[in-house]
A and B are shown apart, each in its own frame.
Chain A
Amino acid sequence: MTRFVIRRLLSLIPTLFLIITFAFIIVRVAPGGPFASEKKLPPEIMANILKKYHLDEPLPKQYLRYLNEILHGDLGPSFRYKDYSVNELIGQALPASMLLGFLSLVVALALGLSVGIISSLKQNSWVDYSAMSLAVIGISVPLFVIGPVIKLILAIKLKWLPTSGWLGGRNGILVLIMPIITLSFPYFASIARLMRSSMLEVLRSDYVRTARAKGLKESTVVLKHVLKGAMLPVISYLGPAFAGIITGTVVVETIFTIPGLGRFYIQAATNRDYTLIMGDVIVFSVILVLMNFLVDIIYGFLDPRISYK
């Protein structure tokens, strides 16, 4: 078991290395640079600036220098926010994004699982039909449509919720409601559909019939026997779901003006703030890759057919 975990962890390194290299190449081969748009500076000053940020060195050398810095946990200085390091900028922005992403995932999981379970137990009832219609809406409507539309209805027309802002303001946790609804809805929908169909499959399986034949109570059958097997497809969906949620934060933070990492993202790319984009990509990728790793481990725990070798 421990060996499996360690091996799996080690295999994350090449993936991360690849992502970093790929992002570095894309960012650097593009025309333009962080200081290209500024006023014409005297060449000596420009040369000084480039020298300060080591931009005058050949690319391979810059790349190695950058890798070395990352290994020491330093993401470098920001080119645009002159007095800040990328570590500071990300440190300020990450908590908001993490909170938003984490809560959305929890909400999507909790609601998706319960709706899926109820739908499957009451198959073809009105509960099932209405839940599954809701789920189809969830997978068909993109979150950048859901976001503005619920903002229009709940905040602007009905004035029940604040239109934007973040924790620490006078609106308290009310500001969390709309971003979380927006971000969790598509994943709630997918999880509910997935859970329902996998529950239905397991409910008809032989081992469940055996459990019933032993005279177990229906609640025991569902809770102890069906759920565990039915969870597996949902667990393996969590990896892609989390990737989607991370990307989704970029949009949701834009719609609801949340001071998170996503907000930086596009700005940094457009400004050619090399270090900040790279920092963003690295942080997002590390979270994503770790999440996939966790999903693998959980999957192994739940599925006895997988052996750790």
Chain B
Amino acid sequence: MAKTSAVKRDALINEFNQTMKPVSLWADAWKRLKKNKMALGGLVIVVTFIALCVLAPILPIYPYEEQVIAHQNLPPSLRPAGVTMIESRVGYLKLVMESEERTEMTDAEKAEIAAMEQDVSVNPAHKRVYIFGTDSLGRDMLSRILYGGRISILIGLVGTITALLVGIIVGAIAGYVGGWLDNVLMRFVDILYGLPYMLIVIIMMAIFGRNIINLFVAVALVSWLTLARVVRGQIISLKNAEFVEAARSMGASPGRIIFRHLTPNTLGVIVVFATLMVPSFIMNESFLSFLGLGVSAPLASWGSLVSEGANTMELYPWQLLAPAIAMTLFLFAMNFLGDGLRDALDPQSKNRL
């Protein structure tokens, strides 16, 4: 046990006369998060995804919009495209032979294969490797998934940031000021809640046209509602605390009290909320893209890739599975991370949705 005299000035001393290092909320939360293997795994996956998507333009991958007509619908493979191209052609011709009950290829077919082999040996383009295969226009699926991820994640972030800004401001003001202003703001939130949001967004996208700005607006439109409610509740429970009283007695303005004293105390809840919000925005965006109302070609998002893949899945299942798995993995990781953060930042919380 350390003696009091040996203790540095700003260290804390507990009732057993032990020195304690002051632990911030975040250091404490990080300590708890590190123990949660699932959440940590989620964090690693999320960071990897974001890094890959952000770095996509400088990674050694093929341009996402470049179409190589000869390389249409190639299955995922670690071998050069030329090899898989000939293989899938030969496989197809064998099926034709079976259906026509032949044992040999016709001369025309043999010549076609020979020409392909000749082309493969001279054309360096056939040395490309498509580890996730190609789509129906001969574009690299890996590249499309990474560039699609850029858009999907970007929309998730934009939606979340809008939600944070508007939600915190509206919620904090309603909670702190109270009275008629609170009433008006919360009635407004209630009414917007009652709207069938996605249905109206579908109409907006169909009518105002599919472009990425409209998509941002549509996704961000009502994103802040729940957060405004949550922040308002937090602020109300805090606004009569002693530290707020102290700030007020020192003459702090309401704006300063709200944004310097109250809001930082609700950050834990807000961070958890934000992490769980990103996947829901990504889902909404993909939902619209799936219906053909999201980004338009040659841009891609995970939703539009899944939608294209669903059209061709009978013959080329990887065109559905590759983007579906990428997207699911990211959403999974985000959800685990969000759950872990909630447990870490707010240990008393029940495991709500």
For B191, what are the chain A residues with a Cβ–Cβ distance below 8 Å? 14-15, 18
Q: Report Cα–Cα, A19/B195, bound state, in Å.
A: 6
Cβ of A281 and Cβ of B196 under 8 Å apart? yes
Cβ of A23 and Cβ of B310 under 8 Å apart? no
For A15, what are the chain B residues with a Cβ–Cβ distance below 8 Å? 191, 194
Chain B at the A interface: mostly helix, strand, loop or mixed?
helix
For B293, what are the chain A residues with a Cβ–Cβ distance below 8 Å? 266
Q: Report Cα–Cα, A237/B353, bound state, in Å.
A: 10
* Chain A residues numbered 230-264 whose CB sits less than 8 Å from any CB in chain B: 233, 237, 243, 246-247, 250-251, 254-255
For A289, what are the chain B residues with a Cβ–Cβ distance below 8 Å? 194
Closest to B317 in A: A152
8 Å CB contact of B202 from A30, A144, A190, A269: A269
Closest to B290 in A: A144
Cβ of B286 and Cβ of A142 under 8 Å apart? yes
**Known contacts A140-B331, A148-B309, A148-B310, A265 near B202 by CB under 8 Å:** yes
8 Å CB contact of B207 from A22, A251, A272: A272
For B202, what are the chain A residues with a Cβ–Cβ distance below 8 Å? 250, 265-266, 269
Closest to B333 in A: A140
- Pick from A48-56, A79-87, A103-111, A193-201 the stretch touching chain B: A193-201
Cβ of B195 and Cβ of A197 under 8 Å apart? no
Q: Report Cα–Cα, A18/B194, bound state, in Å.
A: 10
Cβ of A201 and Cβ of B350 under 8 Å apart? yes
Q: Report Cα–Cα, A117/B279, bound state, in Å.
A: 27
Cβ of B290 and Cβ of A266 under 8 Å apart? no
- Whether, in the assembled complex, A93 has its beta carbon less than 8 Å from a beta carbon of chain B, the answer is no
Please count how many residues in chain A sit with their CB below 8 Å of the partner chain's CB atoms.
Answer: 52
- Whether, in the assembled complex, A149 has its beta carbon less than 8 Å from a beta carbon of chain B, the answer is yes
- Pick from B91-99, B156-164, B320-328 the stretch touching chain A: B320-328
Closest to A278 in B: B203
For A141, what are the chain B residues with a Cβ–Cβ distance below 8 Å? 328, 331
What sequence of 0s and 1s flags, for each residue 201-228 of chain B, a beta carbon within 8 Å of any chain A beta carbon? 0111011100000000000000000000
- Whether, in the assembled complex, A27 has its beta carbon less than 8 Å from a beta carbon of chain B, the answer is yes
* Chain B residues numbered 47-92 whose CB sits less than 8 Å from any CB in chain A: none
For B332, what are the chain A residues with a Cβ–Cβ distance below 8 Å? 136-137, 140
- Whether, in the assembled complex, B198 has its beta carbon less than 8 Å from a beta carbon of chain A, the answer is yes
Cβ of A22 and Cβ of B283 under 8 Å apart? no
B330 to chain A minimum Cβ distance, whole angstroms, is: 9
- In the complex, which of the residues A23, A255, A280 has the most CB atoms of chain B within 10 Å of its own CB atom? A23
For B235, what are the chain A residues with a Cβ–Cβ distance below 8 Å? none
A102 to chain B minimum Cβ distance, whole angstroms, is: 17
What sequence of 0s and 1s flags, for each residue 274-307 of chain B, a beta carbon within 8 Å of any chain A beta carbon? 0000010001001100111100000000010011
B20 to chain A minimum Cβ distance, whole angstroms, is: 31
B205 to chain A minimum Cβ distance, whole angstroms, is: 8
B169 to chain A minimum Cβ distance, whole angstroms, is: 23
* Chain B residues numbered 299-353 whose CB sits less than 8 Å from any CB in chain A: 303, 306-307, 309-310, 313-314, 317, 320-321, 324, 327-328, 331-332, 335-336, 350-353
- Whether, in the assembled complex, B199 has its beta carbon less than 8 Å from a beta carbon of chain A, the answer is yes
For A148, what are the chain B residues with a Cβ–Cβ distance below 8 Å? 306, 309-310, 313, 320, 324
Q: Report Cα–Cα, A79/B207, bound state, in Å.
A: 16
* Chain B residues numbered 155-196 whose CB sits less than 8 Å from any CB in chain A: 191, 194-196
Cβ of B203 and Cβ of A145 under 8 Å apart? no
Cβ of B203 and Cβ of A277 under 8 Å apart? yes
Cβ of B199 and Cβ of A144 under 8 Å apart? no
For B196, what are the chain A residues with a Cβ–Cβ distance below 8 Å? 19, 243, 246-247, 281, 284-285, 288
Cβ of B291 and Cβ of A140 under 8 Å apart? no
For B291, what are the chain A residues with a Cβ–Cβ distance below 8 Å? 250-251, 254, 266
- Whether, in the assembled complex, B200 has its beta carbon less than 8 Å from a beta carbon of chain A, the answer is yes
Cβ of A190 and Cβ of B320 under 8 Å apart? no
8 Å CB contact of A145 from B195, B204, B208, B306: B306
Cβ of B194 and Cβ of A26 under 8 Å apart? no
Cβ of B351 and Cβ of A193 under 8 Å apart? yes
Cβ of A144 and Cβ of B203 under 8 Å apart? no
What sequence of 0s and 1s flags, for each residue 152-172 of chain A, a beta carbon within 8 Å of any chain B beta carbon? 100010000000000000000
* Chain A residues numbered 181-206 whose CB sits less than 8 Å from any CB in chain B: 190, 193-194, 197-198, 201
B221 to chain A minimum Cβ distance, whole angstroms, is: 11
For A243, what are the chain B residues with a Cβ–Cβ distance below 8 Å? 196-197
Q: Report Cα–Cα, A142/B282, bound state, in Å.
A: 10
Q: Report Cα–Cα, A277/B313, bound state, in Å.
A: 31
Q: Report Cα–Cα, A22/B199, bound state, in Å.
A: 12
Closest to B336 in A: A136
Cβ of B353 and Cβ of A142 under 8 Å apart? no
For A68, what are the chain B residues with a Cβ–Cβ distance below 8 Å? none
For B287, what are the chain A residues with a Cβ–Cβ distance below 8 Å? 142, 144, 247, 251
Cβ of A193 and Cβ of B328 under 8 Å apart? no
Cβ of B335 and Cβ of A247 under 8 Å apart? no
Q: Report Cα–Cα, A269/B288, bound state, in Å.
A: 13
Cβ of B200 and Cβ of A23 under 8 Å apart? yes
Q: Report Cα–Cα, A18/B196, bound state, in Å.
A: 11
Q: Report Cα–Cα, A247/B199, bound state, in Å.
A: 7
For A270, what are the chain B residues with a Cβ–Cβ distance below 8 Å? 206
8 Å CB contact of A30 from B197, B200, B208, B327: B208
Q: Rank and list the top 10 A-B pairs by shortest CB-CB distance, nearest first.
A: A269-B206, A148-B310, A30-B207, A247-B198, A197-B351, A144-B290, A140-B331, A140-B332, A15-B194, A145-B324
21 A-B residue pairings within 8 Å (CB atoms): A15-B191, A136-B332, A136-B336, A139-B335, A140-B335, A142-B283, A142-B287, A142-B327, A144-B307, A145-B328, A148-B313, A152-B313, A152-B317, A156-B313, A194-B352, A237-B353, A246-B196, A250-B202, A266-B292, A269-B203, A269-B206
